[in-house]
Amino acid sequence: MLGHLRGAIERGTYGIGDKLPSEAELCRTLEVSRPVLREALRALQTMGLTVSRTGKGTFVVADAVQGPTFGDYTAGHLMEVRRHIEIPVAGYAARRRTPEDLARLTGLLDRMDQEADPAAWAALDTVFHLGLAEAAQNPVFRRVIEEIRDALARQSAFLNERGGRREQADAEHRAVLRALTDGRAPDAERAMAHHLDRVEATLTDLVRTPRTDGPAAAPTRAARPATTPGPDA
């Protein structure tokens, strides 16, 4: 579904400034449920291809993906900061963690294993990364992670919905926790670096490669009614 709509935008079937058909029309044409469609529409906005205007609809604002945006931050900005903060945080946490820190982090990962709701899992993911910063025993680290917490949750949800990252992320988190439990700072830093490498690789794949699920043919421009928004849209 996402690949179908993204491809239609990139091919120019829907041009910059065009309004996408209504949700009801897209559901009928593409033969999908409204929740599936809304997930795809959210992903298009995250990729910067569309914008939703309350009461007016969804409009195309770009014809190529430059990079996902999560809240106030682009994926590139997040990854740059995360590498400079979270890798050393993991090392400090391995040196300074307390038994209470380890118990809290273990409990979080156990809850994530059992969590069925993707949004709740993404929220717990951010709590885990915040817990690592707390275990590093430096309030500045915690403040930085707290600042980007909402963006991290959005990024996590996006990667799980579109990239199937949950199982891999769970294993990567466990590797970080094992290094913390053993007090091995270099291993903790390597485990966090690997985790961030995989996050970045998945983001890159999603940006470069349109998904091809859904019908192969998009409606032609001629077949659509003129829906370009006026200057007040």
List the pLDDT tens digit at each of the 233 positions of the chain.
Answer: 667 787 787 788 888 888 888 888 888 888 888 887 787 787 777 777 788 888 888 888 877 766 788 888 888 899 999 999 999 999 999 999 999 999 999 999 999 999 988 889 999 999 999 999 999 999 999 999 999 999 999 888 888 877 788 999 999 999 999 999 999 999 999 999 999 999 999 988 877 755 444 433 334 333 343 344 444 43
Domain limits, the chain: 2-65+209-223, 69-208
Extract the runs of DSSP E, i.e. beta strands, from the chain: 50-53, 57-60, 69-70, 73-74
The phi-psi region of residue 58 (left if phi > 0; otherwise alpha if psi is between -120 and 50; otherwise beta) is beta
Q: Are 110 and 122 in contact (CB under 8 A)?
A: no
Q: Rounded to two decimals, what is the model's pTM?
A: 0.71
Six token digits for residue 154: 């959005």
The reply to whether CATH 1.10.10.10 applies to domain 2-65+209-223 is yes
Pick the CATH number of 69-208 from 1.20.120.530, 2.40.70.10, 1.10.357.10, 3.40.50.300: 1.20.120.530
**45 in Cβ contact with 96 (< 8 Å):** no
Q: Which two tokens stand for residue 86?
A: 């979270």
**How many whole angstroms separate alpha carbon 111 and alpha carbon 171?**
14
